Amino acid sequence: MSNWSAQFKKDCEIAFNEEHWQKINYNTGCYEKRFANSRDNYRNAELEKQRAYILCNKSLMNMEKLLVDFETHFNENGGNVLWARDMEDAQEMIWEIVNRRDIKAVMRSNSEVLDEIGLNAFLAGKKKPLFETHVGRYVLQQAGQAPYHPVFPAMHLSKEEINGILHDRFKLKLDSSSKQMVNFVRHQVSQEIEQAQVCITGANFLLSDVGGVVLTENEGNIVKSCASAKVHVVVAGIDKVIPSMEDLSILLPLSASHATGYPMAAVNTITFGPSQTDQGPHEMIVILLNNGRSDLLGNEVVRQSLSCIHCGACISVCPVFKNIGGYAYGTPYKGPIGTVMTPLMLGLDDYEHLTTACSLCGRCTEVCPVKIPIEDLIIENRRLVATERIGDAKFEALVRTMIGHCKSRKKMDCAQWLKRLEIKQLVNKNAFTKRTMPELAPRSFSQLSKEEDL
Ligand code: SF4
């Protein structure tokens, strides 16, 4: 068992706690209600999803050309494009930008790709102050906690817990209302935005035809940060590129309604390069991150995962996420799409345990706005794990036992207690420590049919 796998089991235990469950189920329940209502905004939601599916597939198939076109147009607009092979490359590029300009403080947006490159830990190691500009993430930073969910990073905290964090850190009075807390944090964030000279963000989409970077948010802090920074650095996975600005009419409403349940994000910005006036960043750099994405692109089956627009809908509806929580995944990409992408990007050896974090209920596939067949991709990952295990004597013995058992009528009809014992051995010794094993029928169908003389 890898260290990651052992850690996964420990972290799952944290979520086995009534209070924790209640908070997660309450918050995901609110999201699901809003999401269900948002479907009313579409005359034909399935048709729109089909359009998005075709568009995303077209983008993946032409990624190479679209990226080169994006670079050409973005350079023409006065920006600069850098290509990062992996996380270390991206970190070095960011350090070069920050260090060469003698930047005192950096601010960042809520973005999974910035977590993917380990930005916070990297800058902390370099002793460079980093400010979070997202309200939820700002609170988490004060408590030294990582985000729990990509769209609602502090969904695991109750109002009282947030009040406690702000009280400990800033002496905010303990019975503050939600509105008072939000206003307080917004004020803190505004002050920090004024101090930081570099703003680092992700990108929702990269527009190949005009060299534009699309950023969507609900708080308006990204646009404020970008407007006040001297330098704007964008880190974007190479999968973020889409052909044209017109495509946003399909993707932006789908992304917003699936992320939060609201028809559109409150603030949508397209930035084309450095500012042409006295205000806004005088330098804009886009770091295009590969980090294993081109390997995924080369695999006909799993490449569909790169269509993900990171709306977080699959995470919010997944029963496994609701039970094991966001921290158990141990990586920035959580929930169903994390279950697909993490083992493929970071290695099956360390992350094969994630392929078991799925009951194959299909909810993620049902809600995905770009029609990624997530559960099929999880099954494909399981197949890859099983293929890798061929030759492992213990695994092969287990499979032989299962086959032998299923083929033998005598074994299938054996006593209930013996079946239970075998299931425990075959499935996983730890699988039934926290939940009860389903009751087995006292007699098999074959036995019943003989008795009833069917
Ligand atoms: S199919 Fe698996 S990953 Fe998808 S929602 Fe169901 S349990 Fe979660």
Which distant-in-sequence residues (6+ apart) come within 8 Å of 246 by Cβ? none
Indicate if the pLDDT at residue 50 is higher than 70: yes
pLDDT, one tens digit per residue, over 262-282 is 999 999 999 999 998 888 899
- Say how many Å lie between the CA of residue 362 and the centre of ligand 1: 5
b/e code 307-340 from CB counts within 10 Å (16+ = b): bbbbbbbbbbbbebbbbbbbbbbbbbbbbbbbbb
Determine contact, residues 192/131, Cβ cutoff 8 Å.
yes
Which atom from ligand 1 is nearest to the alpha carbon of 317?
A: 5
Mean pLDDT: which of 1-5, 133-137, 324-328, 394-398 is highest? 133-137
Amino acid found at 29:
G
In this structure, of 5-19, 26-40, 58-72, 373-387, the range with the lowest mean pLDDT score is: 5-19
Q: 453 in the Ramachandran plot: left (φ > 0), alpha (ψ -120 to 50) or beta?
A: left
Mean pLDDT computed over 199-207? 97
Q: Is 357 in the pocket of ligand 1 (CB under 6 A)?
A: no
pLDDT at 342: 92
Q: Is 336 in the pocket of ligand 1 (CB under 6 A)?
A: yes
pLDDT, one tens digit per residue, over 220-250 is 999 999 999 999 999 999 999 999 999 999 9
Indicate if the pLDDT at residue 187 is higher than 90: yes
* N-term to C-term CA, the chain: 48
Which distant-in-sequence residues (6+ apart) come within 8 Å of 230 by Cβ? 101, 197, 198, 281, 282, 283
pLDDT at 347: 87
Indicate if the pLDDT at residue 314 is higher than 60: yes
- Say how many Å lie between the CA of residue 314 and the centre of ligand 1: 8
Determine contact, residues 355/387, Cβ cutoff 8 Å.
no
- The closest residue, in CA terms, to atom 6 on ligand 1 is 361
Report H helices in 358-415.
363-367, 374-389, 393-407, 409-412
pLDDT at 426: 66
pLDDT at 136: 97
- The closest residue, in CA terms, to atom 3 on ligand 1 is 336
pLDDT at 433: 60
Residue to mutate, 364, 377, 378, 382, ligand 1, most ligand atoms under 8 Å from C-beta? 364
Which atom from ligand 1 is nearest to the alpha carbon of 336?
A: 3
Mean pLDDT computed over 119-131? 95
The model's pTM: 0.87
- Within 10 A of 372 (CB to CB), how many other CB atoms are there? 23
Indicate if the pLDDT at residue 425 is higher than 80: no
- Say how many Å lie between the CA of residue 338 and the centre of ligand 1: 11
Determine contact, residues 315/321, Cβ cutoff 8 Å.
yes
Indicate if the pLDDT at residue 113 is higher than 90: yes
Confidence of residue 173 (pLDDT cuts 50, 70, 90): very high
Sheet holding 241-242, edge to edge: 241-242, 205-207, 212-217, 267-271
- Say how many Å lie between the CA of residue 335 and the centre of ligand 1: 8
Which atom from ligand 1 is nearest to the alpha carbon of 359?
A: 7
pLDDT at 7: 80
pLDDT at 96: 95
Confidence of residue 70 (pLDDT cuts 50, 70, 90): very high
- Say how many Å lie between the CA of residue 365 and the centre of ligand 1: 8
Percent of the chain with pLDDT over 90: 70
Closest-CA residue to 270 (of 290, 284, 288):
284
Determine contact, residues 345/296, Cβ cutoff 8 Å.
yes
DSSP character string of 289-324: E-TTHHHHHTSTTGGGGGG-----HHHHH-HHHHHH
Q: Which two tokens stand for residue 218?
A: 């609900």
Which distant-in-sequence residues (6+ apart) come within 8 Å of 81 by Cβ? 70, 71, 74, 75, 285, 286, 288
Residue to mutate, 12, 329, 359, 365, ligand 1, most ligand atoms under 8 Å from C-beta? 359
Please give the domain boundaries of the chain with CATH numbers for all domains. Answer: 3-9+294-389 (1.10.1060.10), 42-291 (3.40.50.10420), 409-452 (no CATH)
pLDDT at 389: 73
Torsion over CA of 45, 48, 53 and 59, rounded to 10 degrees? -150
Determine contact, residues 84/95, Cβ cutoff 8 Å.
no
pLDDT, one tens digit per residue, over 133-154 is 999 999 999 999 999 999 999 9
Please state, in angstroms and rounded to a whole number, the distance separating the CA atoms of residues 364 and 371: 9
Q: Is 318 in the pocket of ligand 1 (CB under 6 A)?
A: yes
Q: Is 358 in the pocket of ligand 1 (CB under 6 A)?
A: yes
Q: Is 364 in the pocket of ligand 1 (CB under 6 A)?
A: yes
- Mean residue pLDDT of the chain comes to 91
Please state, in angstroms and rounded to a whole number, the distance separating the CA atoms of residues 231 and 14: 40
Q: Is 149 in the pocket of ligand 1 (CB under 6 A)?
A: no
Indicate if the pLDDT at residue 430 is higher than 60: no
Please state, in angstroms and rounded to a whole number, the distance separating the CA atoms of residues 301 and 384: 12
Residue to mutate, 149, 305, 314, 320, ligand 1, most ligand atoms under 8 Å from C-beta? 320
Query: Secondary structure of 32-47 in the HEC alphabet?
Result: HHHHHHHHHHCCCHHH
- Say how many Å lie between the CA of residue 69 and the centre of ligand 1: 37
Mean pLDDT computed over 109-124? 96
Please state, in angstroms and rounded to a whole number, the distance separating the CA atoms of residues 230 and 248: 28
Judged by DSSP in three states, 425 sits in: helix
- The closest residue, in CA terms, to atom 2 on ligand 1 is 358
- Say how many Å lie between the CA of residue 163 and the centre of ligand 1: 33
pLDDT at 2: 65
b/e code 144-183 from CB counts within 10 Å (16+ = b): ebebbbbbbbbbbbeeeebbebbeeeeebeeebeeeebbe
Indicate if the pLDDT at residue 193 is higher than 80: yes
- Within 10 A of 403 (CB to CB), how many other CB atoms are there? 10
Indicate if the pLDDT at residue 391 is higher than 80: no
Q: Is 339 in the pocket of ligand 1 (CB under 6 A)?
A: yes
